């Protein structure tokens, strides 16, 4: 029964995307949103034409999301590396990201916004854009576990929050975190917030 309900939720979410050109759905353990945004990306002085639409499997995206790690900076940093996405976030995001890539245009990136509840009356916000350049999956973050506080009224509003004005590609680093590449990943030169993953190679 639970699987049937989850399947119906995903179908409704995908249908709402076709109508509103945005994914936004409130889950039991937080809020995730996946959508599209026209965003210019330049490398070596030339604008990239994204390899979109692109067919990805849920297995590939699940492995990618579960292997994105970061390290904290600052006085109270934890020494160990940490996962960007919780398991619950990954399960919610995977089917939406796969579908978003399958219908994206060559001018659109895929946007991902997610909240994860961590402590009493607090949560953490992740925001990134994804795009395919040839066979390379690029993931660029502007927020990783950004601390949020909210009450019941504000939590209802967050399902509409989409950081529409943000451009993670204009950011190179944060004073609070940096991504730590896993096997098969590398950082874009000069960036601590931009992962590049060659999908033509096997993902560990």
Per cent of the chain over pLDDT 90 is 50
For residue 163, what pLDDT is reported? 53
- CA dist 86 → 93, 111, 152 (Å): 11, 18, 22
- CA dist 94 → 18, 31, 36, 148 (Å): 18, 14, 15, 24
For residue 90, what pLDDT is reported? 93
**pLDDT tens per residue, range 109-143:** 999 988 776 555 456 789 999 999 999 999 999 98
Q: Which residue has the tokens 């590609």?
A: 169
Residue 3 scores a pLDDT above 60: no
Answer for the pair 144, 96: CB distance below 8 angstroms, yes or no: no
Tokens coding 112: 């991902």
17: left (phi over 0), alpha (psi -120 to 50) or beta: alpha
Residue 17's pLDDT band (boundaries 50, 70, 90)? very low
């Amino acid at each position: 029964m639970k699987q049937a309900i989850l399947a119906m939720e995903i179908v409704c979410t995908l249908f709402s995307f076709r109508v509103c050109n945005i994914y936004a759905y409130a889950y039991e353990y937080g809020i995730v949103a996946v959508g599209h945004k026209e965003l210019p990306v330049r490398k070596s002085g030339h604008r990239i034409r994204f390899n979109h639409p692109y067919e990805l499997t849920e297995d590939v995206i699940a492995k990618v999301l579960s292997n994105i790690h970061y390290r904290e900076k600052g006085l109270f940093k934890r020494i160990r590396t940490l996962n960007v996405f919780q398991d619950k976030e990954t399960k919610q995001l995977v089917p939406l990201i796969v579908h978003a890539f399958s219908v994206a245009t060559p001018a659109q990136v895929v946007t991902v916004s997610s909240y994860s509840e961590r402590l009493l009356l607090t949560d953490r916000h992740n925001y990134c854009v994804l795009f395919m350049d040839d066979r390379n999956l690029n993931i660029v973050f502007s927020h990783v576990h950004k601390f949020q506080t909210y009450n019941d009224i504000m939590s209802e509003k967050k399902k509409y929050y989409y950081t529409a004005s943000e451009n993670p590609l204009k950011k190179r680093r944060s004073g609070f975190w940096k991504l730590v590449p896993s096997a098969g990943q590398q950082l874009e030169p000069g960036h601590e917030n931009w992962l590049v993953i060659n999908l033509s190679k096997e993902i560990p």
